[in-house]
Amino acid sequence: MKAIAISALSSGQGKTMFTMALLNWLKANLGTVRPYKVGPDYIDPRFHEKITGMDSINLDMYMMSEDYIKSTFLYYAIGLNNLVVEGVMGFYDGIDHGTSTYDVTKTLNVSTVLLVSAEGSYTTVVPTLKGMIDYKPNNTIKGIVLNKISSEKHYQVIKDQIKREIP
């Protein structure tokens, strides 16, 4: 079973669009894929279901215990090899209540890909990423997708800075 979570710095960064594209690609190329959504959201799961033809399962740590989150995640993964969890708001939003995407991915031991908008920025992306990575040691962030890149040059400048400054 392969699972990945999609998160971002905040809402409006492209999580849902990226998640839908990933779900579509996985379904077209690898067969069935189970979508999940962090939190009590009911809109994004309908988008997931439209693409995958499978129920999107909410994982809400406000309403569900850690054990229930784990058992729900595993129950709906039975017989499936590809699982995608779309986060809620920003990666750490809700951490003060134990309900963030960070909390869910730590509970489930699922790696996270962080979407980062590079719109109107380039150097500031690096300290922002460092802060996200260093804020909680042993977090689940394992990859980064730069979103809202304006040109190839813009991408190369940010990519080079990330390679130089973030291990």
Give the predicted TM-score (pTM) of the model. 0.94
Average pLDDT, the chain: 95
Helix axes 152-165, 125-135, angle to 10 degrees: 40
Share of the chain above pLDDT 70, in %: 100
pLDDT at 148: 93
Closest CA to 141 of 101, 165, 114: 114
Closest CA to 7 of 100, 130, 137: 100
Reported as a pLDDT band with limits 50, 70 and 90, residue 7 is: very high
Residue with tokens 């979508």: 35
Tens digit of each residue's pLDDT (9 = 90 or more) over 59-117: 999 999 999 999 999 999 999 999 999 999 999 999 999 999 999 999 999 999 999 99
C-alpha to C-alpha distances, 29 to 26, 32, 33, 41, 102, nearest whole angstrom: 5, 9, 10, 27, 28
Domains of the chain: 2-117 (3.40.50.300)
CB under 8 Å to 22, separation ≥6 — which residues? Answer: 6, 84
Q: If you average pLDDT over residues 133-161, what whole number do you get? A: 94
Residue with tokens 């799961």: 45
pLDDT at 137: 83
pLDDT at 1: 82
Tens digit of each residue's pLDDT (9 = 90 or more) over 150-160: 999 999 999 99
